Chains A and B, each alone.
Chain A
Amino acid sequence: MKTYKYDVVIVGGGPAGLAAAVSAKKQQAKVAILERNGELGGILEQCIHAGFGLHVFKEELTGPEYAERFIDQVEDLDIDVFLNTMVLDITKDRHVSAICGEGVLHFEAGAVVLAMGCRERTRGAIRIPGDRGAGVFTAGIAQRYINLENMKPGTKAVILGSGDIGLIMARRLTLEGIEVEGVYEIMPYPNGLYRNIINCLDDFGIPLHLSTTITRINGKDRVHSVEVAKVDEHRQPIPGTEREIACDTVLLSVGLIPENELSRKAGVALDPVTKGPVVDENLETEVPGIFACGNVLHVHDVVDYVTTEAEEAGEKAALYAKNALKKSDASVAVHAEGPVRYTVPEFVDPEDGADKKIKFRVGAPIEKGVTVIKAGEKEVYREKKAHRFLPSNMEIHTLKCSAIAGVRGDLTVSVEE
């Protein structure tokens, strides 16, 4: 068994892993990326649509272009990349075992960055009744078939869920001559970014049916129809509203789940809402020296924010490996309150002098509101300009350290209407 020693071992070579690696390397750390796929880039390679990079590069890039800019940096910086290498286990003391074509590899890491991303929820996760014929795909699998493997998933599709990948695929299918009958969303509001609804549905005359869901899939060998029905405010189908739609393909865009099997093995505590690791402001998990960033930590709305988060995690991991990470015990907890579903990070240090980036999402749309952060009863942050909050958009706010210096007691983040 081969053994390697690195300052920073990064698990996953998607957008988070790439940015974390570049940033750690810039801190003069010895860095390795372990990637189970045959190439770097992760999900960006199949996201051929444009819309990436507006914040980081100030231009509109496609997924492969966004990835290539980072892959080029990884090559230029001589970062070690292990492709076709799947991590099997991570221990609390940062021993990482992986398997590749040559057998088992062993890594001793000064710090580990978890950057495994997320995966899609499937039909099983939402329990759609009916037959089990072929033709039911997650939107991402259909995206992979069409964009990477040149395979046509079907001829007429119904899309369940208005997540971004579903919307992007509605356009992609239409452009490739596959009819999209409509997009059905159980919630009374869309789940994807608004610009995707315009660019992917409105532009092509594809209807979006809110408060409506698939109640049955029909077709023993291959899907031949689905039954849809309107739902009430408790998301229960309303009798009498059922309608049968002929189709041979069903795409599911019903949510993403951070992929944390390895984190669990390492003893990392997970947040029940984000399904990602609990982290402090350094993006360090409750296991010292193990950091997390990107969609494995919490599902992001745009990749640019994955990049900035991962750069931070990479830098902090490199500092940790060199025993140079400032760590204080004066951590206070950050709680989500009211319409705020979760916060990342869950802990901050009010005494370290660094400004805090607080990220969160709301559970339901709010037409006009402001973000308010309190330390006990004392208000320490209030957003100046009221705006719209959507569950599909991640909020990022900077809390000045001076505002919370000396505070005792937990912070609560809420939105006031």
Chain B
Amino acid sequence: MKKIKMSCTTCPNSCELLATVENDQVVAVEGNLCKRGVTFAESEYRCPVRVLTSTMILDTGAKAVMVPVRSAKPIPKAAMQDAMQAISKTHLHHAVKMGEALIKNVADTGVDIVASKTVLM
């Protein structure tokens, strides 16, 4: 059995968690104000995930505008650099809608990169 200290990053409360790990499993969490702290501790121990955000270039012909993009869901921290490369290689040439998938299954994470904003041409 081991105890691991972590800080929940789910919301600005930033609860300081103490996770108890037995047989490679989180069996107890202390210090959390809500149940999202338990979900966070389990995920943070097993495979830390984060929402990745960046921008893509939309070439309108007249000028290039920036489209903010995000991973639709959190992706493993380890996949971030690969996902960033895929994003910087993608150039857009059409209007986009907020939530529209721009890269499917980025870096084999099973998560899409989607537009964070509606940008008309």
- The answer to whether B20 has its CB under 8 Å from any CB of chain A is no
Q: Give Cα A54 to B48, complex, Å.
A: 20
Quick one: which of A149, A175, A198 contacts B66, CB cutoff 8 A? A149
Least CB separation from B117: chain A residue: A64
| Contact between A147 and B55, CB atoms less than 8 A apart | yes
Q: What residues on B are CB-neighbors of A148 within 8 Å?
A: 66
Distance (Å) between the CB of B99 and the closest chain A CB?
8
Q: How large is the interface on B (under 10, 10 to 19, 20 to 34, 35 or more residues)?
A: 20 to 34
With contacts A48-B116, A60-B51, A198-B7 taken as known, whether A203 is within 8 angstroms of B77 at the C-beta atoms is yes
Cα distance A50–B113 in the bound complex, in angstroms: 13
Assembled-state Cα–Cα distance A146/B57 (Å): 12
Q: Does B80 contact A (CB under 8 A)?
A: yes
How far apart are the CA atoms of A147 and B116 in the complex, in Å? 12
A150 to B57, Cβ gap below 8 A?
yes
| Residues from 67 to 82 in B contacting A, C-beta threshold 8 Å | 68-70, 77, 80
Whether B110 is near chain A, meaning CB under 8 Å from some CB there, is no
Q: Chain A CB within 10 Å — which of B7, B14, B80 has the most?
A: B14
| B98 sits at the interface (CB 8 A) | yes
Given A64-B68, A148-B66, residue A49 in contact with residue B57 (CB < 8 A): no
- Which residues of chain B from 1 to 32 have any CB-CB distance to chain A below 8 Å in the complex? 7-12, 14
Question: Does any Cβ of A come within 8 Å of B43's Cβ?
Answer: no
Contact B53 A62 (CB under 8 A): yes
Known contacts being A150-B64, A193-B14, is A50 close to B57, with CB within 8 Å?
no
CB distance from A392 to the nearest CB of B (A): 9
Partner of B12, one of A146, A147, A393: A393
Q: A55 vs B11: C-alpha distance in the bound complex, in angstroms?
A: 9
Of all chain A residues, the one with the shortest Cβ separation from B87 is A175
With A65-B98, A65-B117 already in contact, the answer to whether A54 and B68 are too (CB < 8 A) is no
Distance in Å: Cβ of A233 to nearest Cβ of chain B: 26
B54 at the interface (CB under 8 A from A): yes
A370 CB within 8 Å of chain B: no
Could you show 29 A-B contacts with beta carbons less than 8 Å apart?
A48-B53, A48-B55, A48-B69, A48-B116, A50-B70, A54-B11, A55-B11, A60-B51, A62-B53, A62-B116, A64-B98, A64-B116, A64-B117, A65-B116, A65-B117, A148-B66, A150-B55, A150-B66, A175-B80, A176-B54, A194-B14, A195-B7, A195-B9, A195-B11, A195-B12, A198-B9, A199-B9, A203-B48, A301-B12
Enumerate chain B interface residues (CB-CB to A < 8 A).
Answer: 7-12, 14, 48, 50-51, 53-55, 57, 64, 66, 68-70, 77, 80, 84, 98, 116-118
